[in-house]
Chains A and B, each alone.
Chain A
Amino acid sequence: MEFFQRFAIPHPSPAIYASMVAIALVSIGIVVGLTYFKKWGYLWREWLTTVDHKKIGIMYLLSALLMLFRGGADAIMMRAQLATPDAKLLDAQHYNEIFTTHGVVMILFMAMPFIFAFFNLIVPLQIGARDVAFPRLNALSFWLFFVGAMLFNISFVIGGSPDAGWTSYFPLAGNDFSTSVGTNYYMLAIQISGIGSLMTGINFCTTIIKMRAPGMTLMKMPMFTWSAFIANIIVVFAFPVLTVALIMGTADRLFGANFFTTSNGGMDMLWANFFWVWGHPEVYILILPAFGLYSEIISTFSGRNLFGYRAMVWSMILISLLSFLVWTHHFFTMGQGALTNSIFSITTMAIAVPTGVKIFNWLFTMWKGKIRFTTPMLYSIGFIPLFTIGGATGVMLGMSAADYQYHNTMFLVAHFHNTIIPGVVFAMLAGLTYYWPKFFGFMLNEKIGKLTFWLLTIGFVLAFFPMYLSGLDGQARRMYTYSEATGFGPLNMLSFVGAALMALAFLAIVYNIYYSYKNSPRNIGSDPWDARSLEWATHTPIPEYNFARLPQVSSSQAFWDAKKKGHELFKGEIKDIHMPNNSGVPFVMSCIFFVAGFSFVFALWVPAVIALIGVFVCMALRSFEQDHGYHIHAKEVKETEAKYGKVLNNEDRSRATSRV
C-alpha cells in the first residue's frame, strides 16, 4: 500500500479527477480506434519509425498545437481565478502548480517544438537539400522531446505537479520546501527533452553548413535559414548549461547533494545564474526563427526583396552574442551592487539596437512594395507595433534602478507576454497559415483566418496591457489572490475578458483546420502565394526526396529569380537518389528514456538502472549496425515526377518554372 501511496496526487480536486477520467478515456479510445481501423501498421511504418524531416516536422507541429491547448487551459484558469478579488476557484497550491506548468509547457513544450517544427519543415527545402544531416538523430530528437513532454504532463495525475515556478529557484525547489515529486518531474522531463533539443541544434548547424544547394553561399541563404542557423548555434552553447544545472538539481533532490541548498556550502544563487545563462539565450532561440518567418512572409506579401539583407544578418549575429551577456538582468535585485547592475543594464539595453534595425528593415521592405493583406501578412503587420511596445518595455526593464520597482510584478508578466505572443506565437500562426498549403495540399480559409487574427490581437491587448498598470500599482506576479482593498479588481477582470477572447481565437484555429479540410479546393499548384524561396520550387505535396534534382542557386531568393529572370534552377539529369531507412530505434529508445525518467522521479532504482542499461544497449547496437539506406532509382523518380503532371527534362522544367 505504501508503495502505491507515493503515486497519489497530494492535492486532489474534482477537476483533476475529471482530467484523469478524460485521459483514460482518450487513451482507450485511441487504442480501440487504431485496432478497429487496423492502423497500427500504418502508424508504425509511416510515423513512429519515420526519419523524413517533413513528417517529423508535422509531428512537432501537432504536439505544439496540443500543448498550446494544455498551456492555454492553464492560462484561462489563472485568469479566471484572478478576475475578481478573493476568488475561490483555485486554492494557493493549485494556482502555484498551474502557473508553473503553464510556464514550462508554453516555453519548452509549445514554443520550442513549434520552432523545431519549422526548422524541420522548411530548412532542408529552403537550402535545397533532401533531408537533414542526421535523419535518424532527428527522429531521436523528436521522440525525446515528445516523451519528455508526456512525462511532464502526467505529473498532474500521478504524484503531483511541480509548484516552484518555471524558474524553479532553489531553495524553494529543494526537498525542504517542495515536498511532492513535482519538481523531480520538472528536472527529469526537461532534461530528457533538453537532450533532444541539443541534438537538434547540432543536427541543424551541420545541415546548414554542409548541405546547402550548389551556389548557395552563406550570404545567399534565405533569411529563415539564417535565423535557424543562429538559433541552433545558440542552442548548442546554451543547452549544455541547462543540462548541467538540471543534473545538479536532480542530485540535490534525489541524493541530497547540496549544490543549491543553503547549508553545507550550497549556493542558491548559483541555480539562478545557471538557469538564466540558459534562460535568456533561450528566449532568443525562440524569437530569432520567428523573425526569420516574418522576414519571409513580409517579403513575399510585399512583392519585394528583403531590405537590408546584410544588416538583418549582422543584427541577428549581434543579438545572439549579446544574448549571452545579459542574464543577470533577471536578478538585478540580488544585491550585487551598482557596478554589476550598470554593466548588465547597458548590455541589456544594447540589444534594442540590433532589434530596432530589424523592425526598420521590415518597414522598409514594405516600402514601395505591393502589399497583400493575407492572414500570414496580417500577423506580421500586427507583430510590428505590438512587438515594438514589448521591446520598449524591455528597455524600461533594462534600467536596473527602475527594475527594482518592476521586478517580480505583473509589469514584467505583461512585458514578456508582449514580446513572446506577438513575437513567437503570432509568428508560429503566421507560419502555420503560410506553409499549410505546402504540407497539406490545401489552403486554410482566409475569412476565418482573419477573424482569428482580430480576436487574438484584441484579446491580447485586453489581456495584457492592464497588467502594466496593475504591476505599477503593486500587484506582484504569482499571487493567487488579492483583496478588494488593493483595487486590482477591475484591471484583472479586463484581463480575463481578453484571455477569453484569445481562447476563442485558438478554438477558431481548430475550426479553420476542420472547415478548410472539408471545403478547400485541392488544386492549388506548388506556389499558391507567389513566393520567393526554394521551398516553393518543389511540388505539392512534396515528394519524399524533396527535389528530383538539386537546385542551382545564385541569389537569396533563387525561386523568385527563376520565375522572373528565367534563371535555371534544375539542371542536369535525374540520377538515383540515396535515402535513409526508417528506424524504430529512436522511438523505442525514447520510450526507454521515459521509463528511466519516470523511475527516477519516484526513486525506483531497479527499473531506473535497467532502463539506463537499455539506453546504452540501444546505442551500442547502433554502433554495430550496418545500415546504408536505400536508393530510389532514376526511373522511379521520373515516374513520380511525371505523375505530378510535368515531364522533367531540362527544357520543359526551366520553361515551367519561368511560367509559374
Chain B
Amino acid sequence: MKIKLLFLLSIMTSVIFLSGCEPLLVFDPKGPQAERQASDIILSIGIMSVIVIVVMVILAYILIKYRASNQPDNYEPPHIEGNHLVEAICVGIPVLIVAYLSLVSVQSNYIVESAPVGYEEQEPLVVYASSSDWKWHFSYPEQGIETVNYLYVPTDRPLEFKLYSYGPITSFWIPQLGGQKYAMSDMVTTLHLAADEPGEMLGRNANFSGKGFAENTFNVTAMSQADFDDWVKEVHETAEPLTETEFQELLEPGHLGQMTYTGTHLEFSPAPEHNHSTTNESEVEYTDHSSHDQNQTNEENEHSAH
C-alpha cells in the first residue's frame, strides 16, 4: 500500500513538474467531487503506466534479442501455434485490472452523482445555470438574485446546479470543483458540487456551441457563508430588478460582461418542463427542496427512456 502511494505521488509530482510547476487545473481540486475525480485519474494513470511500461520492456527485449542481424543466416524461426498458459495470462491480468477499475468507476459514479461526501446533511444551495449564445445566466431562487457570467458560491455548503440552455447544447464545467455536465434546451440536468476553500476559479462552457464558443467562460468565486450573505445583501441594495424584456435582450447572441440583477428569470421564463428529476409534478419547483432526495432516485428511470 505504501509503495503504491509513493508511486502515485511520484507520478503526480512528475505531472506537475512537466507542466511548469503550476499544478494542472484538474490536479488542483478545490472541492470533494473534483478531488474524487483527480484521485481516479491519478490511480488510472498509475495502473496504465505500469501496463505501458511492461509492453515497452517486452517489446525492446524481443526486438534486441530476435533482430535478424543478431542471428545466424540459417536460423529458421519455429512454427508456434500458441500457448494456453501465455494466452491465459494475457487475458487474465487485463481482466483483473479492468474489473478493479470498473469497481472504482462504479463507486465514483454514485459519488459524483449525489450530494458531495461530507455534505450530505446540509441543505444544498440551488443555482439554476442556463446558457445562451454565448453567456451564462445564474439564478439564485433562494436568494432571489441573478448574475450573468460570474458565479459567487459559499464554501462548506453543497451546491446543486440545475442546468439548461437557451440554444445549442452546452456543457457546464468548473475544472477545480468537478467535471462537467450538459445543459440542453428541452430538459434540466443536475450537477452536485461543493467548494472546500475560498478562491477564484475558472468556469466555462466545454461543449462547442458556435462562433462565440471560445470566449464562453465565467468566473467563479468561492467565499465564506458570511461573505456570501453580505454579497446577497449588497445585491439586493444596489442591483436593478431583472425584467422580462431585459432578459430577452440578454439572450440575443453575443458576448456580455458580468452583470447582476435582483429577481430571477425563472419567474417569467421557467426552466424546461422535461425535468430529469420530476416524474409526475409538471411544474418546476425552484423553491421547494423537500422532494429532492426522492427525486434523485427517479432520475435514472426518467433518463433511460430519453
Contacts and interface: CB of A to CB of B under 8 A. Distances in A.
Interface of A: 92-93, 96, 163-165, 169, 171-172, 177-178, 262, 266-269, 302-305, 307-311, 331, 333-342, 345-346, 349-350, 352-353, 356-357, 359-361, 363-364, 366-373, 381, 384-385, 388-389, 392-393, 395-396, 398-409, 469, 472-474, 476-482, 487, 490
A401 B184 contact: no
Contact of B276 (A335, A364, A388): A335
B95 A353 contact: yes
7 contacts: A268-B184, A308-B83, A335-B276, A338-B114, A341-B113, A393-B48, A402-B44
B205 to A, nearest CB: 8
Contacts of A408: 171, 173, 180, 206-208
B41 A396 contact: yes
A399 B208 contact: no
Given A171-B169, A474-B26, A401 B98 contact: no
B171 A399 contact: no
B241 interface: no
B54 to A, nearest CB: 9
B59 A381 contact: yes
B86 interface: yes
Given A349-B102, A385-B56, A479-B213, A370 B80 contact: no
A122 B186 CA distance: 49
B19 A469 contact: yes
Interface in B202-221: 202, 204-214
Interface in B27-80: 27, 34, 36-38, 40-41, 44-45, 48-49, 51-52, 55-56, 58-59, 62-63, 66-68, 71, 75-80
Given A335-B187, A335-B276, A405-B178, 15 more contacts: A96-B213, A169-B168, A171-B167, A178-B210, A335-B303, A350-B98, A353-B94, A373-B67, A384-B55, A392-B48, A398-B101, A402-B40, A402-B108, A408-B173, A476-B206
A370 B68 contact: yes
A5 B138 CA distance: 41
B91 interface: yes
A405 B179 contact: yes
Closest A-B pairs by Cβ, 7 of them: A404-B179, A335-B189, A401-B108, A392-B48, A172-B168, A337-B300, A338-B109
Interface size class on chain B is 35 or more
A402 B299 CA distance: 20
Interface in B74-118: 75-83, 86-87, 90-91, 94-95, 98, 101-102, 104-106, 108-114
Contact of B94 (A165, A262, A356, A479): A356
A352 B202 CA distance: 34
A353 B227 CA distance: 52
Contacts, number: 293
A331 B299 CA distance: 16
B24 interface: yes
Nearest to A342: B106
B180 A404 contact: yes
B277 to A, nearest CB: 9
Contacts of B213: 92, 96, 478-480
Contacts of A359: 55
A310 B108 CA distance: 37
Contact of A311 (B87, B110, B211, B303): B87
Given A388-B52, A408-B206, A305 B41 contact: no
A399 B105 contact: yes
A333 B171 contact: yes
B182 A345 contact: no
A200 to B, nearest CB: 31
Nearest to B103: A346
Nearest to A369: B77
Interface string B162-201: 0100011101010100111110111101110000000000
A237 to B, nearest CB: 23
A342 B109 contact: yes
B22 interface: yes
Contacts of B282: none
B82 A311 contact: yes
A366 B202 CA distance: 49
Nearest to B191: A335
B287 interface: no
B167 A357 contact: no
A476 B26 CA distance: 13
B206 to A, nearest CB: 4
Contacts of B52: 385, 388-389, 392
Given A337-B300, A371-B68, A399-B105, A304 B25 contact: no
Contacts of B15: 469, 472
Contacts of B58: 363
Given A336-B303, A349-B105, A472-B25, A302 B37 contact: no
Interface of A is mostly: helix
Given A171-B169, A371-B63, A408-B171, A333 B98 contact: no
A268 to B, nearest CB: 6
A261 to B, nearest CB: 9
B20 interface: yes
Contacts of A381: 59, 63
Contact of B202 (A268, A345, A474, A478): A474
Contacts of A339: 300
A340 B305 CA distance: 11
Contact of B214 (A361, A482, A487): A482
A437 B207 CA distance: 46
A393 B47 CA distance: 11
Given A385-B55, A396-B41, A401 B112 contact: yes
B135 to A, nearest CB: 15
Given A353-B95, A371-B67, A302 B77 contact: yes
A338 B167 CA distance: 26
B26 A473 contact: yes
A21 B76 CA distance: 59
Contacts of A369: 66, 77
Contact of A310 (B66, B80, B82): B82
A462 B204 CA distance: 27
Nearest to B206: A408
A351 to B, nearest CB: 9
B18 interface: yes
A74 B294 CA distance: 50
Given A395-B44, A405-B26, A480 B86 contact: no
A77 to B, nearest CB: 16
A372 B66 CA distance: 9
B289 to A, nearest CB: 18
A335 B104 contact: no
A340 B299 CA distance: 11
Contact of A404 (B59, B112, B167, B209): B112
A333 B55 contact: no
Contacts of B94: 352-353, 356-357
B306 interface: yes
Contact of A303 (B37, B77, B173, B190): B77
Contacts of B20: 487, 490
Contact of B113 (A334, A338, A403, A480): A338
A478 B219 CA distance: 20
Nearest to B86: A364
Nearest to B205: A476
Contacts of A349: 98, 101-102, 105
B238 interface: no
Contacts of B45: 396
B304 interface: yes
A481 B71 contact: no
Contact of B186 (A268, A337, A360): A268
